Amino acid sequence: MVFETEEERFTVTVRAVDGTVLLTLGGELDHDTAAPLEAALDAAAAQGGRLLVDMAGLEFCDSTGLNALLRGRLTLQEAGGTLELAGLSGPVARMFRITGADGIFPVHADVAQALGTVPGR
């Protein structure tokens, strides 16, 4: 399943991998492009369980994107699930570090590391 903006500046691809819902983000996540992420997070939250967001292809993320992820995290927690991040780098990693959000989410170096990790260990 792929969610895209009309401008195609931002994409979200959703797939299941070993019992984990994997959202792969690409492009620029901002006020104008956040709707596909919010839709994907809502769909994943309805399933509960573990949600892993691969941010390696994300070139930019503003406060709108961060807030969407924070809301998604809370919604998943209420449903007994988790929201984890992988592949933070460049300006996106810097924004998460400056805001302290990298301490709120479980963060993995990449998807391979995350999928080799069992939550709670």
Q: Does residue 14 contact residue 22 with C-beta atoms inside 8 Å?
A: yes
59-92 residue pLDDT tens: 999 999 999 999 999 999 998 999 999 999 999 9
Q: In the chain, what are the domains? A: 31-108 (3.30.750.24)
- List C-alpha distances in Å: 31 to 35, 63, 69, 101, 108: 8, 8, 13, 18, 25
Residues 45, 72: Cα–Cα separation, whole Å: 7
- pLDDT of res. 12: 94
* The two structure tokens encoding residue 116: 């080799």
Bridge partners of residue 58, in order along the sequence: 27
Q: Does residue 75 contact residue 41 with C-beta atoms inside 8 Å?
A: yes
